Structure 1
């Protein structure tokens, strides 16, 4: 009687008659995979290309065998003809071999070897019968015969056997030499002509090196006074310009790239335009105001590349060039005070606002904010400040044309640079005395007010102030000489308008001073 571990009685299972118990296994057995059938496939045939095809040596063997099973003399006569192509595919060599087996009474069971040896290639031929095996090894020597080639600078090998044929060969060689010499002269002339054309094109290439001896052209294209000044400024900017991250779109770019680290170079193919040409391109865009299409043709670039170069360099110059002209101290200003300002020795800065025309925005609010009642046009306005000797030391950001001069002066950051004892010279419209820092005075022409006319002393004062204040107008006129600011500025330049105006303003400082210190 079977019982479980709990003491429960278990019944013995009964099987049907003739049935066998089933054994269960928790491990799944994988059936064996039948072995693959053996396949008899011929080896693949190698397909030779037409231009690499080499004719194999052909072996023609004709064997005449006369033998008798009862005759002890067996004579084998084998003629072997071998056609071996030479370097030109025409040479043929036909050796002959006679084979005689061992004179025994019965057919020989030992193979008989016959070898005919020459110098170069070896071809092994084996023939067999029921009673004997003959191994024939034949070596052939290839004779090269150079055929006449199509090229004029190749010559045929001399195979002449007689004096007349040798004379013909010499005459052919002399004729070919004359042809080759004429050809060389023509090629030399072509090389000289092409070299002259290249030099002429390089001499007329639109690049700064073309105008290195023409300061007037440099002044016209760049706004800088001479080629020496142009190269000095480029030498200062080049180490930083080598690691520029070129602008791809208006989206924000990363702060730095791996190639911008010291000692690293920018990856990718070499740029078509050198850094010097890129710098020249940007200055031409600012000074002459050429369109991107024109610059692309002149420098052999695409319009998108020109746009990317200009946008990148403008932002780069906006950071670097103003750093060359920091706001001068009060002591430095008074030490270099021109004689014309002897009546106003405490003048620190002369200020004035200027406006540039812009394309009318599509939004009504933007149109209203940029409308200038003074210019009767949509404009941007900027505050410009110069030292008494005419050096531009302050340029504000661009404001909409509706903003007043007083509001721009207050929010531009100029007042934070002034010190007690300074004097600010401005036009009559700058009523900013109430917003100046303590100890800073304002020097503007007197107002007529409700009076009919100014007094004689006020007229003289107005003339004295105007005679020195005119220098700020001259400085602004230099800025307007950069023709990118001519006419109406398109909307496409709006994202870079501040940078363009500031760079143009500070580039004028490389020109000779407006006021000479006599």
Structure 2
């Protein structure tokens, strides 16, 4: 019996079937892309550590301000023996943060670390307190003999210089209280600020850091109150800018550019002295500029950060001694 069967090898699916197939393919493609993105984020979370940046000194400088991975590991081995003494900041301790600041931060995502901002804040507070205690326990003030033994040739005309000082200001959030506003307002910055005094030895290291004062306090008053006068003896000299009128506040010599009397021309020897002091004072300005390159000081300090701003400022100053080479050889 001969049975003939027809086969339609050129059957074309209905247009509706093609649309469904394309839609399914597109859906699967989007799902694959999303899974790839999630996998990449997991890799970032897993690999965000020191080892990830070991081959890039540029990344190390960006994240830590230290010049190299080797430099960072050397600093770590200096502080590692006392890590077991660290006291972690708990959620209860960090709850003093302003409510509006909390609401504002909840809307943020900390992309670099994949952590909630409050978690990062607690980690920073923990390490700030630890480094403030650890680094602060090391006496950074140098004896006159140590300063002289490291005195750069550029200071040969000012051989008894013990410390070069200057004040710096950090912009902060305007308080709601009119009284606090008047105390914090700086005429120089035309903004509410906190002001601190920093001193460096002639060869570069930070040897004195004051606490922070309200922006309206004068440089002279900060100098009198911060405690540095107790460190200066008659055989020492301090180098300052012409805005520091402190000659009557200390027993030691003060190297300060002279003011030009009205209607009179400055004598040649005073011109040379002014230029020499200005060149040497650049060093303290450079150190302060380096300290303020820390991201925290880029913008306006919120009132919530003012709780431990003294510790943050001191740690930034003290860490500069480990981050940088000597300014002059």
Quickly name the TM-score band, shorter chain normalised.
0.7 to 0.9
Q: The residue matched to 1:434 in structure 2 has which SS?
A: coil
| Other structure's SS at 2:304 match | helix
Query: Could you say if the C-alpha distance between residues 292 and 319 of structure 1 is closer, same or farther in structure 2, counting changes exceeding 3 Å?
Result: farther
Residue in structure 2 matched with residue 241 of structure 1 by the alignment: 83
Tell me what 2:8 maps to: none
The CA deviation at 1:250 is: 4.1
- Distance in 2 separating the partners of 1:291 and 1:373: 35
8 Å CA contact 2:57, 2:67 repeated in 1:
yes
Q: Does 1:413 align with 2:227?
A: yes
- 177, 194, 197: which is aligned to 1:380? 194
Q: Shift of the alpha carbon at 1:505?
A: 1.2
Q: Please show how residues 190-201 of structure 1 align to structure 2 within 5 Å.
A: 201=43
Is the partner of 2:227 in helix, strand or coil? coil
Alpha-carbon shift at residue 315 of structure 1 (Å): 1.1
Q: TM-score, normalised by structure 1?
A: 0.51
Which ranges of structure 2 fall in alignment gaps of 5 or more residues?
A: 1-38, 96-104
1:302 to 116, 121, 137: 116
Partner of 1:316: 130
Query: 1:292 and 1:209 mapped to 2: Cα distance?
Result: 31
Aligned to 2:178: 364
What do you get for the CA RMSD once the two structures are aligned? 2.6
Among 134, 152, 161, which residue is 1:347 paired with? 161
Give the structure, 1 or 2, with the largest relative contact order (CA under 8 Å, sep 6 or more): 2
Q: Distance in 2 between matches of 1:490 and 1:201?
A: 33
Q: Which structure shows the bigger proportion of residues in helix conformation?
A: 2
Match of 1:508 in 2: 320
Aligned partner (choices 474, 482, 491) of residue 294 of structure 2: 482
Larger radius of gyration: 1
Q: Does 2:311 match 1:499?
A: yes
Shift of 1:243: 3.6
Q: Is the 8 A contact 2:166 2:198 kept in 1?
A: yes
Secondary structure at the counterpart of residue 193 of structure 2: strand
| In the alignment, structure 1 residue 227 sits paired with structure 2 residue 69 | yes
Q: Residues 484 and 291 (structure 1 numbering): CA distance in 2 closer, same or farther, change over 3 Å?
A: farther
Q: 1:292 to 1:389 in 2, by over 3 A?
A: farther
**What secondary structure is seen at the aligned counterpart in 2 of 1:344?**
coil
Q: Matches of residues 240-259 of structure 1 in structure 2 within 5 Å?
A: 240-248=82-90, 249-250=92-93
1:460-511 CA distance string (max 9 Å, x none): 1110111111111111111111121012111111101111111111111123
Aligned equivalent of 1:214: 56
The offset of 1:419, in angstroms, is: 2.0
Equivalents in 1 of 2:106, 2:54: separation in Å? 24
How far has the Cα of 1:347 moved from its partner?
Answer: 0.3
| Cα distance change of structure 1 residues 384 and 329 upon mapping to structure 2, 3 Å threshold | same
Could you list the runs of 5+ residues in structure 1 that have no partner in the other structure?
A: 1-196, 253-289
Contact residue 292 and residue 307 of structure 1 kept, 8 A: no
SS at match of 2:254: strand
Q: Where do 1:436-447 residues align within 5 Å?
A: 436=250, 438=251, 440-447=252-259
Specify the SS of the correspondent of 1:433.
coil
Whole-angstrom CA distance in 2 between matches of 1:326 and 1:368: 34
Query: Structure 1: how far apart are the matches of 2:191 and 2:308?
Result: 20
Contact in 1 for aligned 2:66/2:324 (Cα 8 Å): no
Tell me how far 1:242 sits from its aligned partner.
2.7
Matched, 1:428 2:270: no
CA shift in 2, pair 1:244/1:355, >3 Å: same
Query: Could you state the TM-score of these two structures normalised by the residue count of structure 2?
Result: 0.79
Aligned residues: 281
Kindly tell me: are residues 327 and 387 of structure 1, through their superposed partners in 2, closer, same or farther at Cα, counting changes over 3 Å?
A: same
